[in-house]
Structure 1
Amino acid sequence: MSKKVFTTAEGIPVPDNQNSRTSGPRGPILLDDFHLVEKLAHFNREVIPERRVHAKGAAAHGKFVVTQDITRYSCAKIFSEIGKETPMFARFSQVAGERGSADTVRDPRGFALKFYTEDGNWDLVGNNTPVFFIRDPLKFPDFIRTQKRDPQSNLKDPNFQWDFWSLSPEALHQVMILFSDRGIPASYRCMHGYGSHTFSLINKDNVRTWVKWHFRTEQGVKNLDPKKAGELAGSNPDYLTEDLFNAIKEGHFPRWKAYIQVMSIEQAKNHKDNPFDVTKVWSQKEFPLHEVGYFELDRNPGNYFAEVEQAAFSPGNVVPGIGVSPDKMLQGRIFAYADAARYRVGTNHQLLPINAAKSPVNNYQRDGYMRFDDNGGGMTNYEPNSDPNAPKQTNTPENYFPDYTSGEGGRYDNRVDQDYYSYPRALFHLMKPEQKSLLINNFVESLQMVRKDIQKRVLEHFQKIDPELEQKVATGLK
C-alpha cells in the first residue's frame, strides 16, 4: 500500500508541515510561505459565524491610567504623562469551547485588551498564561483541532490532546500550567493576564526595546477546585460571565496593574534562549517587572452582541511608539486575527462602534459589505494623487526590525534547541507540596482516559521533567 503524500488544496506536495519559512532561524515569517497562508486562511473560515477559538467570552469597558514614566522606552502618546487616562475595552474568554460551553472547564483564558488611543487603536491580545503550546503558527490549526471534536463521533477526545502534546514537547511548559491550580480560574477578575509574546517599544529617538507585558490582578488570584468546577459546569455554566457582570453592576470595579519586562536589542542577541520563543518565559530576576500603570473596568456592555460578539482584536494593531517582534506565533496571529475578523464580522468590521477608533480615520478603503458610513464621499479614491485635501503618508520611521531580516529564506526547524524540559522543571520545583499533588491528580484524571501508548510517551516526557512527577503519575495510572 503506497503512502499518502500530504498536499496543498491544489494537490501540490508539502515538503515540510512543521516549520514556517522565515528570514533566518530567528527572523520573521516570510509572506511567500503559501502553505502557511493557505492553512491559516482556510482555518479562519471553517466555522460560521462564531469565533473558531475564544468563542465564548465576557467583556467590559474601562480606562487605562499611567502611573510611571516609561517615555525613555516609548514615544506612544498613551504613555506620554503620568496620570493620563485612555478609554479601553477588555474581553476574557475560553480558548477551545464553543459559544455555549461552560465557563469552568480546564482551559487557558483569553485576555484581550483594546486601547482607544489618540493615534488609533492599540490591541494587546494575550492569555492568562505567560507562554503558549507551540512556537510556529503553521501548527496552530493542528493544535486547535485537538481541542475540538472528533470528526466522526462529534465528541471531545483526550487522546487527541495528549497525542499532539506528547509529539510536540515544546508544549510541556504550558501543559504544566494548564493542569496546575491555575488551570481553572474562579473569576475573570481574579486571574493575571499576559501579552505572552515578545513585543517592542520605540522611543522618540527610534531606539527599540523588547518587552513582555504583565497584568496583575489586584483582586488576588483565585482558582477553582476541579470538583467544584465540574459542579458549576452543570449548575451554572455561565459562572465567570455572571461574576464579572454582577461585580461591575454592583460597583466593585476590578483592577489590574500593568508591568513590562525590558530587554535591550544587545541583550536579546546574547541571550541563552531565543527571546522570541513564546513557549518560554524571561527570568524576572534577570529582567524584573517595571510598573507602567493600571486598568480598571467600570462599565458593562449595553448589548452583548453589539459590543462583545462583534468586538474584533488583532495584535497587528499597534500605534506609533509600540511595535511587534520576530516571534513566529505573533507574526502568524497578526495575519490570522485580522483575517478572522474580516471573515466573521465583515470587511468593514473596523466601522462598528465597538471597534471604531476614537481618533480620525482617513484612508482609501472603499465599498464592501456593511459599509454604513459615507464611504469616503466624493474624495479621491486612489493614491498617489494631486488632491491637496486627500490623506498623505507621514514618512515617519516604521516599527520594523531590520536586524532580524537578514537570514536566507527557508524552513528552519523550530525544535532545534531541544530544551523542552528546563522551564517545566523549574515550574514544578517552585510548586508547594499541595500544588504538586493537585497537578499530579489532574494529570492522572485526564490521562486515565488516554490510550496506553500515548500514556507511555507522556510519562517519558515527565521523567525528563522530574522523576518524582513521572513516578507519581505512573502510580496513579497503575
Structure 2
Amino acid sequence: MSENRPILTTRQGHPVRDNQSTRTVGERGPATLENYQFIEKITHFDRERIPERVVHARGAGAHGWFEAYGKIGDEPASKYTRARVLNETGVKTPMFVRFSTVAGAKESPETERDPRGFAVKFKTVDGNWDLVGNNLKVFFIRDAIKFPDMIHAFKPDPVTNRQEAWRFFDFVAQHPEAIHMVTHLKSPWGIPANYREMEGSGVNTYKLVNDQGEAVLCKFHWEPKQGVRNLTSAQASEIQAKDVGHATRDLYDNIKAGNFPEWEFCVQIMPDGPNDHLSFDPLDDTKLWPVEDFPLLPVGRMVLDRVPDNFFAEVEQSAFGTGVLVDGIDFSDDKMLQGRTLSYSDTQRYRVGANYLQLPINAPQPGVKVYSNQRDGQMTYSVDGTGPNRHINYEPSTLAEGLREAPKPAKDYHQPVQGNLGRYQTSRTEDDYTQAGVRYRSFQDWEREDLIANLVADMKQCPEPIQLRMVWHFWHADEDYGRRVAEGAGIDLEKAKALPPLPGRAAPHKRLQAETYTDGSTAAHKVAAE
C-alpha cells in the first residue's frame, strides 16, 4: 500500500529524498546555506498566517532590567566570555520579556496545555541580545527541517479546524525523540500556574567566547525567585471557566502592586568539542544536561517592574531572533538553533515588516548608535546614521567617507570543521528513552497520576496503530509508564511490546530504571547496555 502513495516533492516538483535532516558538514557539523529544501520549506512556513504569529500568537510582555553578578559560579565571568552584559556589575541593562503559549491562536486561553515561550530582549550597550526560549528545558525535535511538520500536526486539522489528539500523536509516534518533551508536557509541567512562577530556558546550546578566543558550550536558564508552580488539568479547567487570560492578569496586577517578579539567570557550561564520553549529544535539544555533572551557575538577575503602555505597540510588535547575539556569545552547531536563526528573523520581516527593527520596542537602547547601509522597504520612517557622506550607502568606498568595518578582536574564535557534506541522524541521538524514563520516575505521585490521566484521555482518541506505537515508546522509557497508559486506555500491552523498532532504528537499550532524581534531569548518561 505504501508504494502507491504520492512522492513528497518541493514546490518545483523536485523529489524530496530526505525530509528528516538538514545538510551539514559531517555528522555534527554546521548546517550549510545551500540547504534549499529546508529554506524553501521554512520560509513558506513562516508566511502561513496573516497577521498573527504562526506560533506564540497568545502572549503578554513586561519591561524590566538585568544586573550581572560579574561571576559565573565562583569564577570571574571574563574567564568564559567577553560579553560586557555578563561582566559589568552595577549596570542595569534594560530588558523586555514576552511570555506566550505556542500552538494556540491569539485569543486562546492561557490555561492551555502547551509549552510557554520565554523570549528576552537585552538592550545592552553593545546592541541587542535576544534569548528566545521556552519554560520547558527540552524540545520535541532536534532538526529544524521537521519544525513545519511538527507545528502542522499540533495545529488544527486543515479540514475540521480542530486540534486533534490523533494528529499530535501520529507525529510523535514517528519521532521518539519527542517522548521526553511529551512526558514533560502531559504532566502538570505542561500548564504553568502563571508566568511569574515559571522557569525559562534557552533550550538550545550556545557558546561563550572569551578574550583569548576560547569557547565553551553553554545552556541558559531562568530560575524564578517566586518558586515554580504548575496546574493539573482539573485546576486549569476551573480557572479557564472564569478567566481565559489569567496569567496576563496575574503578571500585570503583581507588577502594578509593586510585587516585581524576579529570576536568577544561570548557565550550564561544558568544554567545547564533541564530548564523545557522553552517551547523549550536548547539541541535541531533546536532551537535558545532567545538573550533577553540569551545575546551574548563577550569572545575574532579572527583575520585571513595568507593564507596557500599549499592548499592540510593545507586545504584538515585539520581534525576537535567535541570531541576535552580542560579542562573546556565539552559535553552536545545534541544528535547531541554526534553523531557528534563519526562521525567526525571516518571519518578523514578513509579519511586522522589513523595518521592524526601527520600531521602539525592537530598536537598541538610545545610547547605541545604529549605522547600516540597509535602506528603504515598507514603513521606512528614518535612515540609519551614515557618517559624513549620505551619498555613500555601500562599503567600502575609495573616498573613505562611508562606513567602515569594526576592529576585529585581538584573538577571535575559530571553530575547526571537518566532514563530508550530507544529511545525518547522529548515532548519539539513538537513545530517546532514558531521559524520558528518568523524568517519569522523578515526578511526585500526583504528577504521575495527572500525566497518566492526560495520556489515557488522548490515547482513547487515537486509532489503534498510533495507540500501540505510543505504548511501545512509553514502555521503553519505563515499564510502569507504558503499562499504566495501556491499562488506562484499554490497549493490549503485549501487542504493543511485540512491535518492531521504527524503520531504520535499532532496538532501544535496556536502561537503569532505578535511577531517580528530583528534577528529572539526571542519569542521562548512565545507560546500561544489555
Cα separation, 2, equivalents of 1:225 and 1:281:
24
In structure 1, the residue matched to 2:415 is 402
- Name the aligned partner's letter for residue 290 of structure 1: L
Once the two structures are superposed, residues 246-283 of structure 1 have per-residue CA deviations (whole angstroms, 9 ceiling, x without a partner) of 11111110000011111112573543321100000111
In structure 1, the residue matched to 2:443 is 431
In structure 2, the residue matched to 1:385 is 397
Flag the 1:119–1:268 CA change in 2: closer, same or farther, 3 A: farther
Deviation (angstroms), 1:234: 3.3
Cα separation, 1, equivalents of 2:96 and 2:130:
10
Deviation (angstroms), 1:72: 0.9
Flag the 1:235–1:130 CA change in 2: closer, same or farther, 3 A: same
- Name the aligned partner's letter for residue 312 of structure 1: A
- Secondary structure class of the residue paired with 1:214: strand
In structure 2, the residue matched to 1:49 is 51
Does 1:222 find its partner at 2:229? Answer: yes
- Name the aligned partner's letter for residue 370 of structure 1: M
Give ranges in structure 2 of 5+ residues lacking alignment: 72-76, 491-530
Query: Match for 2:115 among 92, 96, 108?
Result: 108
- Secondary structure class of the residue paired with 2:219: strand
Cα separation, 2, equivalents of 1:203 and 1:149:
46
Does 1:256 find its partner at 2:263? Answer: yes
**Native 8 Å contact 1:68 1:82 kept in 2:** yes
Cα separation, 2, equivalents of 1:386 and 1:321:
32
Cα separation, 2, equivalents of 1:357 and 1:10:
40
The 5-angstrom pairing of residues 459-478 of structure 1 reads 459-478=471-490
Once the two structures are superposed, residues 275-308 of structure 1 have per-residue CA deviations (whole angstroms, 9 ceiling, x without a partner) of 1000001111111111101000000000000000
- Secondary structure class of the residue paired with 2:438: helix
In structure 1, the residue matched to 2:359 is 352
Alignment length, in residue pairs?
A: 477
- Name the aligned partner's letter for residue 466 of structure 1: D
Cα separation, 2, equivalents of 1:320 and 1:107:
33
Per the normalisation by structure 1, the TM-score is 0.97
Cα separation, 1, equivalents of 2:449 and 2:127:
47
**Native 8 Å contact 1:325 1:401 kept in 2:** no
- Secondary structure class of the residue paired with 2:64: strand
**Native 8 Å contact 2:394 2:402 kept in 1:** no
**Native 8 Å contact 2:223 2:264 kept in 1:** yes
Cα separation, 1, equivalents of 2:149 and 2:323:
23
In structure 2, the residue matched to 1:209 is 216
**Native 8 Å contact 1:29 1:326 kept in 2:** yes
Cα separation, 1, equivalents of 2:268 and 2:222:
11
Deviation (angstroms), 1:228: 2.1
Query: Match for 1:329 among 327, 333, 336?
Result: 336
Flag the 1:130–1:21 CA change in 2: closer, same or farther, 3 A: same
- Name the aligned partner's letter for residue 109 of structure 1: R
**Native 8 Å contact 1:19 1:414 kept in 2:** no
**Native 8 Å contact 2:194 2:250 kept in 1:** yes
Deviation (angstroms), 1:207: 0.8
Once the two structures are superposed, residues 174-223 of structure 1 have per-residue CA deviations (whole angstroms, 9 ceiling, x without a partner) of 00000112110111000110011111111111111111111100111111
Does 1:78 find its partner at 2:90? Answer: no
Once the two structures are superposed, residues 319-372 of structure 1 have per-residue CA deviations (whole angstroms, 9 ceiling, x without a partner) of 111111100000000000000000000111110000001211111101101111
- Name the aligned partner's letter for residue 28 of structure 2: R
Cα separation, 2, equivalents of 1:399 and 1:327:
21
**Native 8 Å contact 2:281 2:429 kept in 1:** no
Deviation (angstroms), 1:2: 4.5
- Secondary structure class of the residue paired with 1:190: coil
Does 1:99 find its partner at 2:101? Answer: no
Greater shift in the superposed pair: 121-130 or 232-241: 232-241
- Name the aligned partner's letter for residue 362 of structure 1: Y
Cα separation, 2, equivalents of 1:232 and 1:429:
29
- Name the aligned partner's letter for residue 226 of structure 1: S
Cα separation, 1, equivalents of 2:241 and 2:413:
48
- Name the aligned partner's letter for residue 200 of structure 1: K
Query: Match for 2:150 among 137, 143, 148?
Result: 143
**Native 8 Å contact 1:186 1:224 kept in 2:** yes
Q: Post-superposition, which runs of at least 4 consecutive aligned residues in structure 1 deviate over 6 A?
A: none
Per the normalisation by structure 2, the TM-score is 0.87
Query: Match for 1:363 among 366, 372, 376?
Result: 372
Deviation (angstroms), 1:391: 2.0
Cα separation, 1, equivalents of 2:53 and 2:91:
34
Does 1:444 find its partner at 2:456? Answer: yes
**Native 8 Å contact 2:279 2:428 kept in 1:** no
Deviation (angstroms), 1:170: 0.4
Cα separation, 2, equivalents of 1:401 and 1:46:
37
Deviation (angstroms), 1:68: 3.9
- Name the aligned partner's letter for residue 9 of structure 2: T
Does 1:37 find its partner at 2:39? Answer: yes
Deviation (angstroms), 1:129: 0.8
Greater shift in the superposed pair: 65-74 or 340-349: 65-74
Cα separation, 2, equivalents of 1:290 and 1:82:
17
In structure 1, the residue matched to 2:132 is 125
Cα separation, 1, equivalents of 2:371 and 2:412:
20
**Native 8 Å contact 1:323 1:399 kept in 2:** no
**Native 8 Å contact 2:207 2:332 kept in 1:** yes
Cα separation, 2, equivalents of 1:266 and 1:455:
39
Cα separation, 2, equivalents of 1:271 and 1:453:
34
- Name the aligned partner's letter for residue 63 of structure 1: W
Query: Match for 1:153 among 143, 154, 160?
Result: 160
Identity of aligned residues (%): 43
- Secondary structure class of the residue paired with 1:340: helix
Query: Match for 2:431 among 419, 423, 440?
Result: 419
Deviation (angstroms), 1:451: 1.6
Cα separation, 1, equivalents of 2:364 and 2:429:
42
Flag the 1:416–1:210 CA change in 2: closer, same or farther, 3 A: closer
Does 1:166 find its partner at 2:173? Answer: yes
**Native 8 Å contact 1:50 1:99 kept in 2:** yes
Does 1:457 find its partner at 2:459? Answer: no
- Name the aligned partner's letter for residue 6 of structure 2: K
In structure 2, the residue matched to 1:20 is 22
Cα separation, 2, equivalents of 1:249 and 1:95:
26
Query: Match for 1:65 among 64, 67, 84?
Result: 67
Deviation (angstroms), 1:374: 3.2
Greater shift in the superposed pair: 391-400 or 350-359: 391-400
- Name the aligned partner's letter for residue 247 of structure 2: L
In structure 1, the residue matched to 2:523 is none
Cα separation, 2, equivalents of 1:155 and 1:415:
37
- Secondary structure class of the residue paired with 1:49: coil
**Native 8 Å contact 2:281 2:428 kept in 1:** no
